[in-house]
Structure 1
Amino acid sequence: MLCDVHHHFLPEEYVEAWKASGTIPPGLQPPKWTLEADLAFTQRHSIATTILSLSAPGLTPFPPHLQVPFARKVNTLAASIAASHPHRYGFFATLPLSPGGSVPLSTTISELSHALDNLSADGVTLFTSYDSHYLGHDFFRPLWEELDARSAVVFIHPSSPPSPPPAAVGVPPPIIDFPHETTRAAVSLITSNVIRDFPNVKIILSHGGGTLPFVANRIANLGADAGVLPPGKTADEFLAEAKRFYFDLALTAFPGAMELVVGFAGRERVLYGSDYPFCREGTVGRQRENLRGVEFGGEEVMKTLFPGLMGRKEGG
């Protein structure tokens, strides 16, 4: 049974508002998405279960007065898809979030509670940074406390860096920068002791954890040598916390990269992700072929992460 934990949906109203905001990166256009096309895609690629999420930039391009109602609209739509296809779909809730003060954190937590308690969300999506604050910043600590109390699943998706570099290398910045942003967010969660202090939260890093599996030993050892890790945190402890994340294989299931991720994290911490519809079908198909014979997290891991979703499947 294949569960796709990195799979996006793009409601038409959301796409139109995103276009109107003028924040779509040059060279990138959101693909058209429909539920019918999505179902056909999952059937072609033998994906039994899909967890829908909103991709970057989430709600950040929208003015404050639109973020909260848009979050509710997106979450209600995702919940309706999951309810009408209970054996095929789950979803990660979208949260309005702004350390800059435009959205009170109490409002964020209220939407979190509504999504988990009333809409049966399977977790929440957080982006790597908001208003130049990475997820380990003290602003987010009450949110992590709530997520920990609920033993929630958090899907971390990269967003554009606080100061995006120019597209000087000939490709849109997100194609290169997103993996680095995931790494920065992960390191901020380790060095701020969020990972240590909130052990009940189960965090999925996108795209094989960005560059974390490749640079974790470098950061751990140089950080310890330079005395820049938190007081008392050793290189070994840094690495142990880095391996507590889950890692999806979206745009990572290629020779060399996927072996690195599985070797670093262990197969029980590695999950399948397609990154549909941003990742085109030919690239998805090549990665599916590459994964033949590769062992990674299976049904038991899915039951641990998504008991509600897996219970619905078994009940059907």
Structure 2
Amino acid sequence: MSARSSVIDFHAHFVPDFYRDAAIGAGYGNPDGMTGFPHWSEDEALRMMDRGGIGVAVASVSSPGVHFGDDAAARRLARDVNEFSASVRDRHPDRFALLASLPLPDVEGALAEIAYAYDELHADGVTLKTNARGLYLGDPAMEPVLDALDRRRALIVLHPTSPPGAEAVSRGWGRPMIEFPFDTTRAVADLLLRGGIARRPGIRMVVPHGGGALAALADRVEEFARMVVGGDGPDVTGQLRHLYYDLAGFPIPRQLPSLLAMTDPSHLLYGTDWPWTPEVIVTAGTAELKATPLLDQDEVTAMMTTNGLPLLDRFGT
């Protein structure tokens, strides 16, 4: 099957039972301030994809990821998650792409898992959280991980998670509502300001949820950077134009206009965030995207089908 005419969901998740049990056992029964984990099964995922006309799901484990405080346990869980994902991919090679999870902030473990995921499991990319227990993408400790991914021309699909101090700043609200978009903004802005992407042209990056608040704050970030380092400051807005952005969430009607002022429609990707977002909401959001006057029909079709092909080497042929 060629993905060229298929809808590609760049923001899909799986929640195997062993992962849910591990998270709950580690004290994450209410992940990111939510009431619990959604139900997921392989058959249910395929049925949902068929109902929504989705050909390919680029699936990963969502927040809180695989590291719950113990490096050795995180390495084991990352391996289990990745081998499970590979088994799903192998049963349905034309329906699922494999995004490997890494046991960050354990950098040594992450480097070992990158090698295993690519060389043994033939991963399509990796998923990185916006921070790993407070370790952000732009931190110097992350340099070896980003270098390893750059050498492999890796697809990195970001996913937000709770920031440090989340319980205080979230004010009791589920963190996906406000903290996720702002942690995405914080992580990407810091990474670009530190040259983490400019120095690594092999990395291909997808930013979730329409980039969070990046479009609204991009000019402010760039001007502050110029004030700090002078005229040779990083070209933040230029770098942002070349990243990709999934439209999972609620980009209509207010977020998408700002995003289109920051990047080209060819860098927009479809995403559902299922099963964390219920199917009824996914269906309504998809209908809004298809009907928006901000994109013409060719742009909508490309957003849902072909824009992401340069990121998926296995499907792009």
Taking a change above 3 Å as real, the CA distance of residues 36 and 62 of structure 1, as seen in their structure-2 partners, is farther
TM-score, with length taken from structure 2: 0.90
State the 1:308 CA deviation.
1.0
Output one character per residue of 1:69-109: Cα deviation in whole Å (capped at 9) or x when no partner: 111111111111111111111121001112xxxx3x23211
Taking a change above 3 Å as real, the CA distance of residues 44 and 298 of structure 1, as seen in their structure-2 partners, is closer
Kindly indicate whether residue 29 of structure 2 is the aligned counterpart of residue 31 of structure 1. no
State the 1:305 CA deviation.
0.6
What is the match of residue 2 of structure 1? 7
Residues of 2 paired with 1:227 and 1:201: CA distance? 27
Conserved? CA contact 2:170–2:178, under 8 Å: no
Which segment is superposed worse, 19-28 or 137-146? Answer: 19-28
Conserved? CA contact 1:95–1:108, under 8 Å: yes
What is the match of residue 182 of structure 2? 180
Kindly indicate whether residue 21 of structure 2 is the aligned counterpart of residue 16 of structure 1. yes
Taking a change above 3 Å as real, the CA distance of residues 79 and 215 of structure 1, as seen in their structure-2 partners, is same
What is the match of residue 288 of structure 1? 286
What SS class does the counterpart of residue 307 from structure 1 fall into?
A: coil
Conserved? CA contact 1:253–1:290, under 8 Å: no
Output one character per residue of 1:232-266: Cα deviation in whole Å (capped at 9) or x when no partner: 215xx221012221100010342122233233211
State the 1:302 CA deviation.
2.8
Which segment is superposed worse, 75-84 or 295-304? Answer: 295-304
What SS class does the counterpart of residue 232 from structure 1 fall into?
A: coil
What SS class does the counterpart of residue 185 from structure 1 fall into?
A: helix
State the 1:119 CA deviation.
1.0
Conserved? CA contact 2:154–2:203, under 8 Å: yes
TM-score, with length taken from structure 1: 0.90
Match for 2:314 among 302, 308, 314?
308
Superposition pairs for residues 48-197 of structure 1, below 5 Å?
A: 48-98=55-105, 103=106, 105-166=107-168, 169=171, 171-197=173-199
Taking a change above 3 Å as real, the CA distance of residues 27 and 132 of structure 1, as seen in their structure-2 partners, is closer
Residues of 1 paired with 2:43 and 2:306: CA distance? 29
What is the one-letter code of the residue matched to 2:258? L
Kindly indicate whether residue 44 of structure 2 is the aligned counterpart of residue 43 of structure 1. no
Residues of 2 paired with 1:212 and 1:302: CA distance? 20
What is the match of residue 272 of structure 1? 270
Residues of 2 paired with 1:91 and 1:246: CA distance? 18
Point out where structure 1 has 5 or more consecutive residues left out of the alignment.
Answer: 312-316
Residues of 2 paired with 1:62 and 1:35: CA distance? 28
Residues of 2 paired with 1:228 and 1:290: CA distance? 42
Which segment is superposed worse, 87-96 or 250-259? Answer: 250-259
State the 1:270 CA deviation.
0.8
How many percent identity over aligned positions?
A: 29
Which segment is superposed worse, 127-136 or 29-38? Answer: 127-136
What is the one-letter code of the residue matched to 1:227? V
What is the match of residue 314 of structure 1? none
Conserved? CA contact 2:158–2:206, under 8 Å: yes
Point out where structure 2 has 5 or more consecutive residues left out of the alignment.
Answer: 1-5
